[in-house]
Structure 1
Amino acid sequence: MEKYVVLTRLTVFDENFEMYEGIYELLCSLNEDGHNLIVISHDQHSLIIMKKIFRETFNFEISCVFRRDIRENIDESNAKDYILIGSSDDDLILAANKRILIINPGWSIKQDEKPARYGITLERPNQLFEAIRLIANQNRWYFKLDVGKNATVLALTSANTMNRDVRYSEREILDGFENLLKSGDRKYINTLYFHLISGVMKSSELRNVELWGTFPSSSSSINEELEELKERCRYLTGRRMTQPLFIRHTPAEKSHYTVHATRLSQGCTKHFDSIILNPYYNSSRIRGKVVCVIDDYLTNGISFETARNLLLQAGASKVILLALGRYKRGAGGIYQHEVYNLTGRINRAGYNYQLVSRNNLVGTYDPGARDEVSRIYEILND
């Protein structure tokens, strides 16, 4: 699918209007793939110089426009079709305000703090070409399940590192994810983030999430990697939040210490006894909002069902539950859907819960999403 690839002046040229190494090949390749190329600047004189250089260098069109033209022409109807390549704080603010994907060009002489923190950093133009080619064709979540009309469960990739159909190279990546998610190894965080944020920015529903959160760990300690991923998504979708969605007031036993059958029989009750909705999120702050909760692994769905019940009780209009890895137990995996009647104040410990129904749901899997994750890893580590 063709994209509007918007490059800032200092992404293409240095201060003397000399093209960086690899930019000529990058622009030719992007044109051959059918993308629309736009270079932006604040300065009219710079636009005149760039237009002249492009006319003399290329036999195809590269538009040169003011930055404000991009700001005025992007709205919700076309935001998913744009990718911004920029390395200044102004570029990051533009991307966040318009909720478009931003890639930070590591080769640019302009290197501000915010794009490096919130964007996807690529060090060479040839990596950018491969990344845009992947993004243009990426439309896959490894796992998807609709839970009624007001909740959706998504997972980026598989967590089944021991499956027979997992190739050695893929198992290395999945093991790396597990190290990242369980012990803080940051080697693979950019691969995860690339896949996550490009998926977010291609989905109008995810781009319009109004509240982002993470599910609390059993010990109530903060998973810094999950928080970082959540914060990046929050910032790039233009949302301002300072408070966590949930508070675990009492530590709970870690799931892997509990027998699987016991986990299923306990269901959400384990979490209801130890988690509340943050009192900051009163009815006016959450009612009618689209909320996304990020967690590391989806196994039985118990954590996600806890979050879903609490958020819908608080008045959320839609809940999106997003796992980084899906552990599939058995042929189709288990997702234990639970509906509770919650009474009392869910932002205080001791609210009441009564199970109304419990049944297993089966989502859909797209194994091709695993290939996308492998390809992202290769691009970023080339």
Structure 2
Amino acid sequence: MRQVAFILPKRFFFSNDNQIKEDAEKRFDFFLTQDIGIYILAQQHTISKLRPQVSDDYRDKINFVGRKEYDLIKGKKNDIIFIVVGLEHHDAIFSFQCFVMLIDGGCFLKNPDERGEKIITYGIPINKIEDLILYSKVLKIHKENYFHLGHGENYEVYSFNNANTLGFRVGAEEKKVKEIFQINLKANISNRDAKALMIIMLHLLGELSTSSNFSDIDIWGTFPSSNPDNQDTSVTFIKEAIRLIDGSKVNKEPLIRHTKRQKKQTSGKQYKYENKINDDFQTLRANPVIKDKIKGAVICIIDDYITTGYSAEAAKHILLEAGAKKVIFISVGKFGREYFSTEYNIEGDVYGDYAANFVSESDFNGRGYTDNDTEFLEFIGKIE
């Protein structure tokens, strides 16, 4: 199990005039007793003034890193999961340059309005310092993915949480996880539970930013909402956060919804089985604005959850037909035990007008079952 280390701005432990704070050692102990590493982020010329003020008891346990020492952090990422707790614009830039997770540390400021705009936009919020300990524990948990399906060399699909509600293991925990996902990944902002959403985001960001399975992705995208006007989704926030962590320069969605589609979760199981991907093929296309970027690229599409797999299959067919080298489809959770892998013949231009003719499908029922919903619910209960 890898160590977790927080990269914290100088202001957490030192005053503006570079004097160590009276409670600095208490803050050191807060992290060190939980086996969490500490890296203090400061200007390179300032570090020589800060380091001598750390007592001998802590000097070998506390690390300093200059604001331009990106390679120092990148070189240790195979052994350490780094998280930047940011307050200012420069802290966010450091996290982006090092491709590590960013947490909004505004709760540590007397005036939270002082924090930088990029911290507010891209940082995962916390309410109190104890949340950092809980976050580190969430990041350390990794099990075999609940669902993983490979389809040749050019397609893979992953789900990171079990929310099984079909088959022989229907229980209260599975139903509760499904309810949490639906509320926080489908509902509008006013109905989302900040506690649950933070854990969902953190778990997914942790998997995506630390696993070598996702190290070669060129373009990050989301599976479009049924309503093309709905751009404010939780998954969009997650995608943008990981895109910046990963350093991707492409900020356009590879898939676009040009016409509103009937929502799948309200259309009924039988309708899904009979209609399959038709509604998506009729309302989705590859984004012509980034046509030259899509061709030859490894593209990752993030969605909230998978049931039958038809959305994932739509992304697969459209983007591979558009010229992508490989498509990876990721969801937060998997509902049910089925996944239908499909074959279609596509005629026309997937960047404009096209038609898709069904050929065949295979049902991968029951593949990849793992229990991790108990821990998911436990962590949500601890966040306040």
Residue 290 of structure 1: which of 298, 308, 315 is its match? 298
**Aligned equivalent of 1:99:** 99
After superposition, the Cα gap between the structure-2 partners of 1:142 and 1:113, relative to the gap in structure 1 and judged at 3 Å, is farther
User: Which region of structure 1 is more displaced relative to structure 2, 297-306 or 250-259?
Assistant: 250-259
**Aligned equivalent of 2:380:** 377
CA offset at residue 77 of structure 1? 7.3
Instruction: Say whether 1:166 aligns with 2:167.
Output: no
After superposition, the Cα gap between the structure-2 partners of 1:359 and 1:270, relative to the gap in structure 1 and judged at 3 Å, is same
* Alignment root-mean-square deviation, CA: 2.9
Residue 121 of structure 2: which of 117, 121, 142 is its match? 117
**Aligned equivalent of 1:354:** 357
**Aligned equivalent of 1:189:** 197
The answer to whether the 8 A contact 1:40-1:67 is kept is: yes
1:72-221 maps to which residues of 2 (within 5 A)? 72-75=71-74, 78=77, 81=80, 82-109=82-109, 111-139=115-143, 141-160=145-164, 164-167=170-173, 174-184=178-188, 185-187=191-193, 188-221=196-229
**Aligned equivalent of 1:230:** 239
**Aligned equivalent of 2:41:** 40
The answer to whether the 8 A contact 2:42-2:66 is kept is: yes
Residue 270 of structure 1: which of 260, 267, 279 is its match? 279
**Aligned equivalent of 1:307:** 315
The answer to whether the 8 A contact 2:20-2:50 is kept is: no
Counterpart of 1:300 in 2: which secondary structure?
Answer: coil
The answer to whether the 8 A contact 1:212-1:291 is kept is: yes
**Aligned equivalent of 2:50:** 50
CA offset at residue 293 of structure 1? 1.1
Counterpart of 2:220 in 1: which secondary structure?
Answer: strand
CA distance in 2, matches of 1:35, 1:279: 46
**Aligned equivalent of 1:6:** 7
CA distance in 2, matches of 1:56, 1:76: 27
Q: TM-score by structure 1 length?
A: 0.84
After superposition, the Cα gap between the structure-2 partners of 1:307 and 1:94, relative to the gap in structure 1 and judged at 3 Å, is same
Counterpart of 1:123 in 2: which secondary structure?
Answer: coil
The answer to whether the 8 A contact 1:288-1:316 is kept is: yes
CA distance in 1, matches of 2:40, 2:99: 19
After superposition, the Cα gap between the structure-2 partners of 1:223 and 1:144, relative to the gap in structure 1 and judged at 3 Å, is farther
Q: TM-score by structure 2 length?
A: 0.84
Counterpart of 2:54 in 1: which secondary structure?
Answer: helix
Which structure 2 segments of 5+ residues have no match? none
CA distance in 2, matches of 1:232, 1:129: 21
The answer to whether the 8 A contact 2:67-2:94 is kept is: no
List per-residue Cα deviations over 1:136-179 (Å, max 9, x = no partner).
34455443322333222222324457965334xx8656423312
List per-residue Cα deviations over 1:27-48 (Å, max 9, x = no partner).
335434555432221053x424
Aligned AA (2:304): D
CA distance in 1, matches of 2:154, 2:262: 30
User: Which region of structure 1 is more displaced relative to structure 2, 74-83 or 86-95?
Assistant: 74-83
Aligned AA (2:250): M
The answer to whether the 8 A contact 2:224-2:257 is kept is: yes
Counterpart of 1:288 in 2: which secondary structure?
Answer: coil
List per-residue Cα deviations over 1:204-247 (Å, max 9, x = no partner).
34354221222223343325123222222222222233433223
CA distance in 2, matches of 1:25, 1:166: 41
Counterpart of 2:132 in 1: which secondary structure?
Answer: helix
After superposition, the Cα gap between the structure-2 partners of 1:146 and 1:12, relative to the gap in structure 1 and judged at 3 Å, is farther
List per-residue Cα deviations over 1:176-195 (Å, max 9, x = no partner).
33122332123232222111
1:56-71 maps to which residues of 2 (within 5 A)? 56=56, 58=58, 60-69=60-69, 71=70
CA offset at residue 346 of structure 1? 0.9
CA offset at residue 372 of structure 1? 4.1
Residue 335 of structure 1: which of 329, 336, 339 is its match? 339
List per-residue Cα deviations over 1:124-143 (Å, max 9, x = no partner).
33321232233234455443
Residue 365 of structure 1: which of 365, 369, 374 is its match? 369
CA offset at residue 121 of structure 1? 2.4
The answer to whether the 8 A contact 1:194-1:376 is kept is: no
The answer to whether the 8 A contact 1:79-1:99 is kept is: no
The total of aligned residue pairs comes to: 369
CA offset at residue 336 of structure 1? 0.5
CA distance in 1, matches of 2:43, 2:79: 24
User: Which region of structure 1 is more displaced relative to structure 2, 95-104 or 34-43?
Assistant: 34-43
Aligned AA (1:50): L
Counterpart of 1:281 in 2: which secondary structure?
Answer: helix
After superposition, the Cα gap between the structure-2 partners of 1:345 and 1:78, relative to the gap in structure 1 and judged at 3 Å, is same
1:240-255 maps to which residues of 2 (within 5 A)? 240-255=249-264
The answer to whether the 8 A contact 1:80-1:203 is kept is: no
